[in-house]
Amino acid sequence: MVNQLTGFALALGLLSATAAFAQGEVFPRERGPVVVAELFTSQSCPACPDADAFAADLDNRSDIIVLSWPVDIWDYLGWEDTLASPENTRRQAQYNGRFGLRWPYTPELVIDGRTHVAGNQREEVMSLIEEIRRDSWVDVPLRIRLMERRLVINVGSAPDGMTDTLGTIWLIPYRDQQNIEIGNGPNRGRTLSYVNVAEAAYPISQWAGSPVIVRHELEFALGDMPDGFVVLLQKHRSGPVLGAARLQISWAGAEAE
């Protein structure tokens, strides 16, 4: 996986295929704020399957962008997580450093980069999502489009009254759904399902409060194409989410050059 991610990071740009794909679907579908729910999960975590199922339910909502981040912190329990990467684990550690947590845990759901909660606590999760939606006054317009072999990302301006306008624009390719048979560890014998499995997070540009257009060429080997992309605008690097969009793509009909 590391070699694959490294290759993507170096290429981060152009689709190596002639893509007769269907049109991508953009979230949010209508203008308005969305809440980003990032689930840090593990195949060796007994409490995670309930959180993974809840993430799939949240993904059915048009006002929530869900990302699953498999981490490797429990690999020593007898099963090496087949979707995890050190990069995912580092992203969780960056959040937990901000939250003042001494130890990582799963299932950890980070909501809009602002707070965290156990991802299997449905009522508490929904309460926090609604609280953040109600109280957050920052919503930087962000749109993502696929134009031939290029992603075009439009990031708007900071709202009036916002003084700290330094942010990072992250590009996150993801896989739609992954079903994994667990061969050992606490979840041995189960088949677990994951939605919107993040492959990595790539900082593609900075934002300083003024409108920005980022044009990003894409390069993938046929068969390695992600199912979509999430773009996040975060305060500084791992701070609160200031804007977000998701592009879901069908690559049907793609042919190698």
Query: What's residue 28's pLDDT?
Result: 55
Contact 189, 46 (CB under 8 A): no
Per-residue pLDDT at 23: 43
Give me the helices (H) in the chain, please: 2-11, 48-58, 86-99, 122-135
Q: Could you tell me if 41 and 110 are in contact, meaning their C-beta atoms sit under 8 angstroms apart?
A: no
Helices (H), 59-178: 86-99, 122-135
What three-state secondary structure class fits 30? coil
**Cα separation of 93 and 91, whole Å?**
5
Q: What's the CATH number where 210 sits? A: 3.40.30.10
pLDDT value, residue 35? 94
For the chain, the domain total comes to 1
- Residue segments in the chain with a per-residue pLDDT below the cut of 50: 1-23, 29, 253-257
In this structure, what are the phi and psi dihedrals at residue 233, rounded to the nearest 5 degrees? -105, 115
Reduced to 3 states (helix: H, G, I; strand: E, B; else coil), residue 111 is strand
Domain extent at residue 155: 2-256
Residue type present at position 154: N
pLDDT of residue 21: 41
- Number of H helices and E strands in the chain, helices first, is 4, 15
CA atoms within 13 A on the CB side of 181: 2
Strand locations in 199-240, DSSP E?
202-207, 212-217, 228-235
Mapping DSSP to helix (H, G, I), strand (E, B) and coil, where does residue 89 land? Answer: helix
Q: What is the pLDDT of residue 91?
A: 97
